[in-house]
Structure 1
């Protein structure tokens, strides 16, 4: 079917370990765009090879980190980019188990919000539970990530069941705080104020400015496809792409390597 038809966009929603070979075959068929399930690979080397192939053959490559097309998440991203809480100091993320599946959305959001490449990772793999995904045991983990921008992130991606789902992020900046909770459906914005403070009149404390629930969610998958089509017609790369996905794999690989007493530092 691949060679008998001329496809513009193809999707890959198969087990992670099959992605690399399928991607190479799609590229040979001359497709314009690939929409791939996350994560793109268990291997950082394979992910880098995919990036080289996409660049060589001008392939639009999108990855299904669906939260990047979420209207509430994009609103938080705009707050951060507009310096609403000032310089970002740290981010703490709470997720479930399996770094390549459940926790991968959390890891990608950290990469998305920071817009910086990973420098190094310290961490440990969960040893009391593994989620079996299409015959592969996937482990959770806990990690500390240093980005080239100087921001530090703490990631908790552990649980004893994939059904114990959690996605929360706490971002601290010089002028305030943003808390994403309710599995990505709500957030609070805080800013420092001296209006109400039990510590004394010369001190400022974080005050809640507003809370927002996503009562009008957008059609994220439709927006993802429209993003891909726009990139085909006008150039550019999707908001979730091969390059941002590589940063997520660096974090996962870094946590695993640190577990075995090997600290990886990335350029």
Structure 2
């Protein structure tokens, strides 16, 4: 693809993560700003935010108040795609609409798509989006931000170095009221998939009742083809809490809070086998996960490697979530991969 010095970006879906203005350097929950689509495009060194779209006129007015007169505003995606020369489209609409809007953009010739998580909420939609992306050669990334979060990525790189041996177990915990099947469950599942490093072979899942929320909190055992066994542990019956633990043959890495910690087996000066613990060094300057994911998209568009949160990793997250549901509905039966379609 032709390289440009600057790329033209647009956002469809202007609530919260789509269009919020974020000015703080590091927010209380550890995310480096900017961490919304509009703010990331506005802050990126090689991007101009040129357009935005939403069906809700009040959100268009709010967007204008926040971002000024520069970006053109639309209440119809087809009109925006037909009028604007868009290089990158951020899709931050309701979860179930992502595939349809993504395919529209691909057909219209948009070369880069940054899709909010979850990629889709059905396997059929995920399959359709994968086909469209791969047939067109579109650069595509899902906003599974833990793949670029500095603490998660630091832990990932350390594990990949092999210094504490290969991965054998992964435990991912998401607690609190937002432990939801797709809404935040896609983050929990994708991070486990990332650290496990293989393809799922089978899933045994159970759903915690949704209560006042529309989505249940699913948990599951997942066996991967590289021998890694993972436990995805989600519950609303505890305060807000997230942590991932990756167990390797010679140690453990724990990711949570504002740092990553490694515990590893070592021989002390006295000759005794013991466990030592140290915190992985933290960075003084953070590049936000959103900016890093846009960097990744541009590299792919310009002929670089596949994005780290590509359409296939998005599909894998949807498949595991779907397998958890099928297992729960069948009385915690083992669900084998590849998943049957059309069920």
- Coarse TM-score class (shorter-chain normalised): 0.7 to 0.9
- Out of 142, 149, 158, the residue aligned to residue 226 of structure 2 is 149
Return the alpha-carbon distance in structure 1 between the equivalents of residues 174 and 284 of structure 2.
23
How many aligned positions are there?
254
Give the match for residue 94 of structure 1: 173
CA contact (8 A) 1:122 1:144 kept: yes
Q: 1:156-175 residue pairs with structure 2 within 5 A?
A: 156-160=233-237, 164-175=239-250
Give the match for residue 67 of structure 1: 146
The question of 1:195 aligning with 2:268 is answered: yes
Give the match for residue 266 of structure 1: 337
CA contact (8 A) 1:51 1:242 kept: yes
Give the match for residue 16 of structure 2: none
Unaligned runs of 5+ in 1: 132-136
The question of 1:113 aligning with 2:195 is answered: yes
Q: Tell me: CA distance 1:24–1:123, structure 2 relative to 1, closer, same or farther (3 Å).
A: same
Return the alpha-carbon distance in structure 1 between the equivalents of residues 131 and 166 of structure 2.
33
Which is higher, the Rg of structure 1 or of structure 2?
2
CA contact (8 A) 1:17 1:42 kept: yes
Q: CA deviation at 1:102?
A: 2.0
Return the alpha-carbon distance in structure 1 between the equivalents of residues 200 and 212 of structure 2.
26
SS in structure 2 of the partner of residue 46 of structure 1: helix
Runs of 4 or more consecutive aligned structure 1 residues displaced over 4 Å after TM superposition:
211-215
Return the alpha-carbon distance in structure 2 between the equivalents of residues 196 and 166 of structure 1.
37
Q: CA deviation at 1:70?
A: 1.9
Q: More strand by proportion, 1 or 2?
A: 1
TM-score, normalised to structure 2, is: 0.69
The question of 1:239 aligning with 2:308 is answered: yes
Return the alpha-carbon distance in structure 1 between the equivalents of residues 253 and 304 of structure 2.
33
SS in structure 2 of the partner of residue 3 of structure 1: helix
The question of 1:221 aligning with 2:303 is answered: no
CA RMSD of superposed structures (Å): 2.0
Unaligned runs of 5+ in 2: 1-79, 339-343
SS in structure 1 of the partner of residue 246 of structure 2: strand
- Out of 186, 189, 195, the residue aligned to residue 104 of structure 1 is 186
